[in-house]
Structure 1
């Protein structure tokens, strides 16, 4: 392992130096820091040009300037933005925080949804559901990101903000959404006609009941996850996670999940006064999530039978869902004053925060979430399409292997065959794709960030390239190139973890 890491470190360092040298030459050739002065009509134009040449050391050979910049970087100094005098390190620090917020949300959601839908599509190969997912995936993947962003601005922001003026869902809309939910779930679950009918009735009742409840309680005016919704979502999560992780016949795993649903309801009641009395922080919320997930793991171990790992995993995952719902509920409680301050237009179309908003920690957190909604959905739609295709193709290949047929011949339940024997091997191709995709997004979703006006890494790169400022551009390229090399190493390590046949020290 250490030998592998050392070899990859040396190869990565050499690759990084060569890439930075080439990029420095290309950027230097592409930009012209004197362009604005050449077009100037100032009487002291020549003097201004000489001053800028001296300021940027343009008389020095470009190769020598590169090594000067490289030595400066080696000391931890990324330079300054010559037009404003701002430290490049500060510019990159604020930009990468905005990009990380966007990347984390979009990647996690797209990955979970894409893998889940892709696996189900593969298991329902050549069914109506499979054909529908194939069509949807290719359709979303072919959409230009700027086109998706414009549509989201029109319908996701302007349209939804208009809806919030009079948030009434018509009876026709409720019926249509209920039928759509029943159809999708019946096609996804599949089985005999009787089973499909049962699934459609349950899914339709759940969808219609939820919409009626939201409408009857005026949820759109004062949205929150009250104890009723928390119980419903918690029971659904407990049943779903137990079904996938252990099977509903595993009573101990199901009991672990149900205990965490009850503890989640208790947590909501206990943490309400605490959240009001104590000013939280991102670190304290992260600690709360970790502690509650650890409690879920412990409950699973205490209630477990022969297979402790399954019960502990089920309890921990249910605990994660419950604590996230509790935190989301607390954030949503500040919606009415936030809605009023923004004059009934809470879904923004530009930026990553509302200027001079004020308010407490929860208001700021809600403001960050609302600014993330549109760009996150834009990235999710395209990434979801790619992950769905990857996971479907990989699952189809795995389920046709000999060891899958052997597992079925041994009489193992289909859930065990799919989850324990098929799903893990399905993740092997994704292990090489996902880390690189994540690092690519950290480099900045350039089009998305520019359309939605988020001050992230992509926008930093474009703006400074247009302003002919080489040091911020090279800082961006340094970070993205370094992360790309790290992503390849991480992909190799993850690949070795997922596939035990791979040996890094071979």
Structure 2
């Protein structure tokens, strides 16, 4: 393992050095950082040109300039030395000073989009594989390829027009007409009956119940002015936590496993107690407080699974942790909803942002600022999510179908194992093997798509830094973007290689 890691690190360094040289030469010989000054009518034009030449070392040949840049970039590898030097921009700003803020915005955006794409894509891919050639499978296949074929800038513009502007206009008079609620209920009924499946009687019952419930909830939300004063409330929270307990147990261990059900029930009950008992603490919380509470909650859930015991303590611990994580997420969502009226007033009744990464001059606690971050990143995240959604859905579906047709799956079914165990414990792990490769490549694709998305939504991230540098002939910000992209791409490919050994016992890293 040690020799493998050392070899991969050496090869990765050589790849970065060679690719950086090519990138540096292409930008250096194709862009003119003095173009704006040469066309200037300033009386001290000559002095400005000489100052920029000296600042950017333009009097040195590009290959030698690349060596100087490489030497400064190599200093970034020295820990705690604070000697990293990626050069300066045209406006005489240190790249290492402006890079962290841009990197934070982009990583925040891309990370959320990547996680959601994996979770939604893999889940829907598995469901469509289990419902092969059904109406749901055909519809998901059509939507996946349709959305995948749309260019990123068009998706971003459509989201701004119909989601941001449209929803902000709706909030001016948030009332849902009865016919719209019925129409949405019909669509929801069609979706749920496709997901549940079964004979015509079962599909009809699912369609009717889900359609009536959806339409009723929408009309109730409209009547109670829920869109301006949202919240889950005690009753809904109890129902959601109870559903989480049952769903997590059924998915992970099966409802017949009493110890797993007890572990999940205890974790859910403690989550509800915290929901009612810690509201005062949430009002004065900081991100550090929430992080400490999250760590304590996970440790408590692990202890619950351990002490409940049984022949599979690990399974009980996983169930308890899953219930705790989902319940904690619901608690945070409810608390953010409670801050919505304040944020709505701070944004003058236009809460869904179309540009920027934050609202200028906004003040408030962590809940208000958290909502501000969410409303600014929601649409760019969805735009990037649609880039990757189709790939994960198709790969997951194809991988699951391939695994379900193999001999060890037929053997597991012949032994009488429940279908849940066959899918979750045997097929799911093997299906993830090709997904690890897709994740490694998708990081680079998402970062590339972030250039267009950040341009449309005016987000000051890595994409904006790269785009502005390329247009102005500002070489050092472009190379900083390249360096971050290259390191992340190589890192994720390295992690993918290690994941093969963890997912497939037949693979050994040598």
TM-score under structure 2 length normalisation: 0.94
Superposed, which structure 2 residues align to 1:202-281 within 5 Å? 202-276=209-283, 278-281=284-287
**CA RMSD, Structure 1 to Structure 2 (Å):** 1.8
For the Cα contact (< 8 Å) 2:175–2:223, is it kept in 1? no
Query: Residue 192 of structure 1: CA displacement?
Result: 2.3
Which residue is equivalent to 1:492? 497
Once the two structures are superposed, what CA deviation does each residue of 1:347-367 show, in whole Å capped at 9, x if it has no partner? 010011001111222211111
Query: Residue 85 of structure 1: CA displacement?
Result: 2.1
Query: Residue 393 of structure 1: CA displacement?
Result: 0.9
Mean alpha-carbon deviation: is it higher for 284-293 or for 207-216? 207-216
Which of 128, 139, 162 is equivalent to 2:169?
162
Query: Residue 54 of structure 1: CA displacement?
Result: 2.9
Change (3 A) 1:474 1:304: same
Change (3 A) 1:273 1:42: closer
Measure, in 2, the Cα distance between the counterparts of 1:194 and 1:402.
Answer: 34
Measure, in 2, the Cα distance between the counterparts of 1:93 and 1:51.
Answer: 27
For the Cα contact (< 8 Å) 1:181–1:203, is it kept in 2? yes
Which residue is equivalent to 1:192? 199
Measure, in 2, the Cα distance between the counterparts of 1:480 and 1:23.
Answer: 12
Secondary structure, counterpart of 1:296 in structure 2: helix
For the Cα contact (< 8 Å) 1:404–1:422, is it kept in 2? yes
Which residue is equivalent to 2:80? none
Which of 402, 411, 419 is equivalent to 2:407?
402
For the Cα contact (< 8 Å) 2:27–2:475, is it kept in 1? yes
Superposed, which structure 2 residues align to 1:71-470 within 5 Å? 71-76=71-76, 77-276=84-283, 278-281=284-287, 283-442=288-447, 445-470=450-475
Query: Residue 9 of structure 1: CA displacement?
Result: 0.6
Mean alpha-carbon deviation: is it higher for 228-237 or for 413-422? 228-237
Secondary structure, counterpart of 1:82 in structure 2: coil
Query: Residue 17 of structure 1: CA displacement?
Result: 0.7
For the Cα contact (< 8 Å) 2:252–2:315, is it kept in 1? yes
Which residue is equivalent to 2:49? 49
Query: Residue 284 of structure 1: CA displacement?
Result: 2.8
Query: Residue 388 of structure 1: CA displacement?
Result: 0.6
Query: Residue 205 of structure 1: CA displacement?
Result: 4.7
Change (3 A) 1:87 1:290: same
Change (3 A) 1:285 1:182: same
For the Cα contact (< 8 Å) 2:356–2:376, is it kept in 1? yes
For the Cα contact (< 8 Å) 2:86–2:95, is it kept in 1? yes
Secondary structure, counterpart of 2:278 in structure 1: helix
Change (3 A) 1:44 1:307: closer
Query: Residue 127 of structure 1: CA displacement?
Result: 1.0
Once the two structures are superposed, what CA deviation does each residue of 1:393-452 show, in whole Å capped at 9, x if it has no partner? 111111111111111111111111111111111111001111332354356611111101
Query: Residue 494 of structure 1: CA displacement?
Result: 1.2
Change (3 A) 1:205 1:312: farther
Where do 5+ consecutive residues of structure 2 fail to align?
77-83
Mean alpha-carbon deviation: is it higher for 378-387 or for 124-133? 378-387
Query: Residue 83 of structure 1: CA displacement?
Result: 2.9
Secondary structure, counterpart of 1:200 in structure 2: helix
Measure, in 2, the Cα distance between the counterparts of 1:209 and 1:307.
Answer: 42
Measure, in 2, the Cα distance between the counterparts of 1:341 and 1:465.
Answer: 36
Once the two structures are superposed, what CA deviation does each residue of 1:18-54 show, in whole Å capped at 9, x if it has no partner? 1111111111012101111222234444444334323
Change (3 A) 1:284 1:435: farther
Once the two structures are superposed, what CA deviation does each residue of 1:429-478 show, in whole Å capped at 9, x if it has no partner? 00111133235435661111110111111111101111211111111111
Which residue is equivalent to 2:61? 61
Measure, in 1, the Cα distance between the counterparts of 2:437 and 2:355.
Answer: 33
Residue correspondences, number: 503
For the Cα contact (< 8 Å) 1:443–1:457, is it kept in 2? no
Secondary structure, counterpart of 1:345 in structure 2: coil
Measure, in 2, the Cα distance between the counterparts of 1:260 and 1:174.
Answer: 36
Measure, in 2, the Cα distance between the counterparts of 1:407 and 1:89.
Answer: 56
Measure, in 1, the Cα distance between the counterparts of 2:128 and 2:52.
Answer: 60
Once the two structures are superposed, what CA deviation does each residue of 1:45-65 show, in whole Å capped at 9, x if it has no partner? 444433432332222121111
Once the two structures are superposed, what CA deviation does each residue of 1:324-373 show, in whole Å capped at 9, x if it has no partner? 11112222212112111211100010011001111222211111111111
For the Cα contact (< 8 Å) 1:299–1:312, is it kept in 2? yes
For the Cα contact (< 8 Å) 1:444–1:457, is it kept in 2? no
Measure, in 2, the Cα distance between the counterparts of 1:357 and 1:436.
Answer: 37
Mean alpha-carbon deviation: is it higher for 128-137 or for 189-198? 189-198
Where do 5+ consecutive residues of structure 1 fail to align?
none
Query: Residue 291 of structure 1: CA displacement?
Result: 2.1
Query: Residue 261 of structure 1: CA displacement?
Result: 2.4
Secondary structure, counterpart of 2:377 in structure 1: helix
For the Cα contact (< 8 Å) 2:443–2:489, is it kept in 1? no
